[in-house]
A and B are shown apart, each in its own frame.
Chain A
Amino acid sequence: MIELAVFAVVSVLYAVLAYYLFNSFDMFKASITFALMALLSSALFAAMDQDVIAILQLLVFVGGISVYLMVGVASNYSAAKRHSNAKMFVVSAVLLFAVFSALLYTSFTVQSNPMQFQIANDIQASFGTAYLQDGLVLLVPFCATLMVIAAMKRVAEMIS
């Protein structure tokens, strides 16, 4: 229950920071918001007992990429206008998350039989049948997701 609460709080913070990031006039503040998101992911890794990855995440993303991005943006400071469509961002993010979550939930509910992997020879055999079927089944939602992304990009171009 505590884990669920932690992940829920992290998700809400991610959503709030992302909304602020893509509604910001100022690219420098947007870069700082991205650094906060990377810092939050580092805290998430620490909560998942992956301390080394958390420290490396802190060094690479927060200490390296975000600072370089901030310095690059700050050297050419301009805060003229909003550059994102907020409604399009929220709608597309929710829609994409729903599509991906549906795919993930389907993969949780339709699981392979673990007994077939107990014997080493069966692993070789199962690659020819079950994995091929799973691959073909997963190809359909993958293509559908790409089509949705392309269609939403087209709609965004039409609106703007």
Chain B
Amino acid sequence: MIEYALYVGLALFSIGIAGIISSRHFILLVVSGEISLLGGIVTLVSFLQFASTNDGSAFSALLSIWSIAALEVIVVVLVYEFMRKKVPDFDISKLSKLKG
């Protein structure tokens, strides 16, 4: 069973990286990062189930991933709000217009 979960985690991570490669929209890049983190969580949980550990180390790693994901979204939405006033189409190739 761990193999299947690992492959699902790898698929999610691949989808996230492919989204980062192929997207130019600000929000899509954030969602791609979140999907990559989702893949990491699936992989970590599959290892947690495989190892049957109760020492809390894997759970603290999960909490770290969740915290990073939440903080990333908060920061990015704040930048998105700021970017809305400067760049109308949210293309990341035009981020240089935010200078000054």
B95 within 8 A of A: no
A34 touches B34 (CB 8 A): yes
Interface size on A, residues (CB 8 A): 59
The prevalent SS among residues of B at the interface is helix
A76 within 8 A of B: yes
Given A69-B30, A69-B73, A83-B28, A76 and B84 touching (CB < 8 A)? yes
Inter-chain CA distance A30–B49, complex, in Å, is 31
| Contacting residues, chain B, for A97 (C-beta < 8 A) | 10-11, 14
Residue of B nearest to A100 (CB): B10
B70 touches A60 (CB 8 A): yes
B38 touches A93 (CB 8 A): no
The prevalent SS among residues of A at the interface is helix
Binary interface encoding of chain B residues 69-88 relative to chain A, with 1 for a CB under 8 A from any of its CBs, else 0: 11001100100110010001
Of A15, A84, A90, the residue contacting B11 (CB under 8 A) is A15
From A34, A68, A80, name the one whose CB has the most chain B CB atoms within 10 angstroms. A34
Residues of A within 8 A of B (CB): 3-4, 7, 10-11, 14-15, 18, 21-22, 27, 30-31, 34, 37-38, 41, 44-45, 48-50, 53, 56-57, 60-61, 64-65, 68-69, 72-73, 75-76, 78, 80-81, 83-86, 88-90, 92-94, 96-97, 100-101, 104, 108, 149, 152-153, 156, 160
Residues of B within 8 A of A (CB): 1, 3-8, 10-15, 17-19, 21-25, 27-28, 30-31, 34-35, 38, 41-42, 45-46, 48-49, 62, 66, 69-70, 73-74, 77, 80-81, 84, 88-91
Given contacts A34-B34, A80-B89, A84-B19, 6 further A-B contacts (CB under 8 A): A4-B4, A11-B7, A30-B28, A78-B89, A96-B17, A104-B7
